[in-house]
Amino acid sequence: MRNKMAFPTLKIINYSNIICPVILVALSITTIYWTREAIDYDFSARHYTPHNDLDNRPLVLISFDYLNINFVFAASGIALVAGLATLTAFFFTKAWTTLCYFSPIPRLTQIQNSKPSLLNNCLTNLFPFLAFVFSLLSIIITSIRHATIAKSTCHGKNGYAGEFQCTRELGACLILDYTTTPWRSGSSDITNLCVDLHRSRMMLIPLTVISTVVLGLGVARLVLE
């Protein structure tokens, strides 16, 4: 009875083991694509000219904090590896099982009936676990960092003159739109940059959720098999 109930459950898990890692890979690539805006634009620490400065004097010194961007890149990169590793382990296991099933060699049949290898366990569970932990850690760190800098060193409550230290997202969303920069063609560039950087940080949430699902599927598969 247990085996009859486990078979359809395992079949569902097998399908999910294809779909969820593919989603994880797609989310990771999308996050990296949006975050690449932070590299395409010149975020060097220098003086910028406020729009209301008629004398065109450089009055705004903006320096940028790279911590949040680094965490987003690292989390999406680890999630990408986790998704690819899980897909590789799944298809390798399927191919090896098929080879053993049709092989006339008794030794291969014994290997097929043995427990999953250590390598397969690592690919199936270790990488999703790392992706989950690092994505969750990135959410906590980037959220705290974003809120702290927004209240302390990157806001225009006292005007847009002086010195600011911002994350790239906060700089694009709160400060740069009120300055003249040498590398933009219009305010729409800054708006798009702000949106992309904000979305890339928010993508840490679905990365964490899907990493958890992939990890859970890996554990369930090992238990049922």
Confidence of residue 46 (pLDDT cuts 50, 70, 90): low
pLDDT at 58: 53
**Strands 179-180 and 162-167: what pairing?**
unpaired
pLDDT of 106 strictly over 70:
no
Least-confidence region, from 27-36, 144-153, 176-185: 176-185
Burial (CB count within 10 angstroms: exposed 0-12, middle 13-18, buried 19+), residue 212:
middle
- Which tokens belong to 48? 């910028």
Work out the average pLDDT over 162-174: 83
pLDDT at 79: 95
pLDDT at 80: 95
Work out the average pLDDT over 121-133: 84
**Strands 162-167 and 60-65: what pairing?**
parallel
Count of positions (residues) in the chain: 225
> Over the stretch 195-223, which tens digit does the pLDDT of each residue have?
888 999 999 999 999 999 999 888 887 77
Separation CA 126–CA 14 (nearest Å): 18
What lies within 8 Å, CB to CB, of 102 at 6+ separation is none
List Cα–Cα distances, 68 to 94, 204, 214, in angstroms: 39, 11, 25
Confidence of residue 50 (pLDDT cuts 50, 70, 90): low
- Strand ranges across the sheet with 162-167: 162-167, 60-65, 46-50, 179-180
pLDDT of 191 strictly over 70:
yes
- Which tokens belong to 53? 């400065």
Q: In terms of pLDDT, which residue wins out, 163 or 180?
A: 163
